[in-house]
A and B are shown apart, each in its own frame.
Chain A
Amino acid sequence: GAVVSQHPSRVICKSGTSVKIECRSLDFQATTMFWYRQFPKKSLMLMATSNEGSKATYEQGVEKDKFLINHASLTLSTLTVTSAHPEDSSFYICSARQTGGGSYEQYFGPGTRLTVT
C-alpha cells in the first residue's frame, strides 16, 4: 500500500515553455501533498504544501506564479513550471500524506527529472 506515482518521470523542454507534473496517490486518499526539489548531492527542499480544495502554501523564496500547484482531488496534485528556464532544471519529487489515521508519514513519488535547454 501507500503508493504514489508521478508523471512524467523525465522531461526535456525548451526554455520558455511550461511543464506540468502530476502526482497521484494510487491506493489512498491524500488531503495533503508536498512538492520538493532536489539538486545533486543536496537535501530535499520543500517548495510548497498542496491542500485539496484550497490554495497551496508556498515556502519562502518560491514564486507561486512560476510554480503553479493545483490539488483538485484527494488523489491528484499537479505542479506546473511556467516559462521554464535552465536554472529550473532539477529533480522534482512529490509526496503524499494519508488522510486520517493519525500518521504523519509521507510517501514519495518516484520523482520527475526536468531538464530545460
Chain B
Amino acid sequence: RKEVEQDPGPFNVPEGATVAFNCTYSNSASQSFFWYRQDCRKEPKLLMSVYSSGNEDGRFTAQLNRASQYISLLIRDSKLSDSATYLCVVMTTDSWGKFQFGAGTQVVVTP
C-alpha cells in the first residue's frame, strides 16, 4: 500500500464550478500536511499548508481528518489557471522532515 494515495483524475471542471478531492495517508504519525500544485514539466509550488482546524486561502479550502487519515482540497469558482496537478504531501517528524508525495490529482478546468 502506498503511503500517500490520491485519485489521479483527471477531474474535468467547468469554469466557475467547485471541485474537491481527497488524499489518504497511511502513517498515523504524520504531523504536517501540504498541498502543492505542479504544472506540466514544472517544479511543484506550495499552494497551502493544511492545519488541524482546516484553513482557507482565497478560493482554496483545505481540511484535515486525522481520525480517517485524509486531507482534502476544495477549489471554488474554478479558473482556467487552476488547471494543474495537485500534489498531496505528508511529513512525519520522525523522518527528519522528509516529504512523502502522492502521485497527484489532475484538474482540468474547461471554458
Residues of B within 8 A of A42 (CB): 103
Chain A at the B interface: SS class: strand
Cα distance, A109 to B45, chains bound together (Å): 9
B94 close to A (CB within 8 Å) = no
Residues A1-58 near B (CB distance < 8 A): 32, 34, 42-44, 46, 49, 57
**Residues of B participating in the A interface, judged by any CB pair closer than 8 Å:** 32, 34, 41-46, 49, 87, 91, 96-99, 101-104
Cα distance, A106 to B103, chains bound together (Å): 17
Cα distance, A110 to B34, chains bound together (Å): 19
Residues of A within 8 A of B46 (CB): 105-107
Least CB distance, A31 to chain B, in whole angstroms:
10
The 9 A-B pairs at the shortest CB distance, nearest first, are namely: A108-B43, A43-B103, A43-B101, A44-B101, A111-B43, A104-B32, A110-B43, A108-B44, A104-B97
Subset of 29 A-B contacts with CB under 8 Å = A32-B96, A34-B98, A42-B103, A43-B101, A43-B103, A44-B44, A44-B99, A44-B101, A46-B98, A46-B99, A49-B96, A49-B98, A57-B96, A91-B41, A93-B43, A93-B44, A95-B99, A97-B97, A104-B91, A105-B34, A105-B46, A105-B49, A106-B46, A106-B99, A107-B46, A109-B43, A110-B42, A110-B43, A113-B41
